[in-house]
A and B are shown apart, each in its own frame.
Chain A
């Protein structure tokens, strides 16, 4: 059966053009390139006399709201362990920021949660989500990765596994 499309003669081409134009505009915007092909980039001015003071002021004035984070985490799944390090404690060289171990983790919710935190922190978070079984396995065999996290300064929001 033929599909009939009602359209005035000559109206197909302009439509295609608009579609194409939209496509081009979108990619340009996404890449952040202006029409002339130049970027203007911005960076924190570290040459400023009070640069460090300003930075620390901003960071100190916006401490992470642990209670709020804990609440959000509990909605994500049956979490047994939630560890925060890295940016949450202003550590410079840590491997991850969030370690979560639990079952039935709703990854859609978890992703939204991480995204929300990222906008609040203005930094990209590095996170790990493990199943309880896998976490315990790694913990028991003293997995390097897990131990590095637990040996560095960190904050446990949820700890139902009795981990020191």
Chain B
């Protein structure tokens, strides 16, 4: 995979991967844990990266109250 350019440009492997994940799925909302699973990266690292991207307004974050399971 020719990802070197992307990684160098955005400064880190994880940032490139997270950006790619969301670029491929613009409608998809993910928790940090789920995103970490998908990019196969450390959870804490992934969360930090996503928080930074959210601060830059590249990602949107919003809180969801835990819904009770419907039967």
- Residues facing A in B19-71 (CB within 8 A) are 19-35, 38-40, 50, 53-54, 57-66
Contact indicator B29/A41 (Cβ below 8 Å):
yes
| Segment touching B, from A1-9, A11-19, A114-122, A142-150 | A114-122
Known A63-B2, A68-B1; contact A40-B9, beta-carbon cutoff 8 A:
no
How many A-B Cβ pairs are below 8 Å? 119
Known A43-B22, A87-B24; contact A119-B63, beta-carbon cutoff 8 A:
no
Contact indicator A59/B24 (Cβ below 8 Å):
yes
Known A61-B6, A65-B2, A68-B1; contact A44-B64, beta-carbon cutoff 8 A:
no
Interface residues on B, range: 35 or more
| Segment touching B, from A30-38, A74-82, A131-139 | A30-38
SS of A interface (majority): mixed
Which of A36, A63, A120, A122 has its CB near the most chain B CB atoms (within 10 A)?
A122
Contact partner of A55 (CB less than 8 A), chosen from B17, B23, B61, is B23
Contact indicator B24/A39 (Cβ below 8 Å):
no
The answer to whether A58 has its CB under 8 Å from any CB of chain B is: yes
User: How many angstroms from the CA of A29 to the CA of B35 in the assembled complex?
Assistant: 13
Contact partner of A62 (CB less than 8 A), chosen from B6, B31, B32, B38, is B6
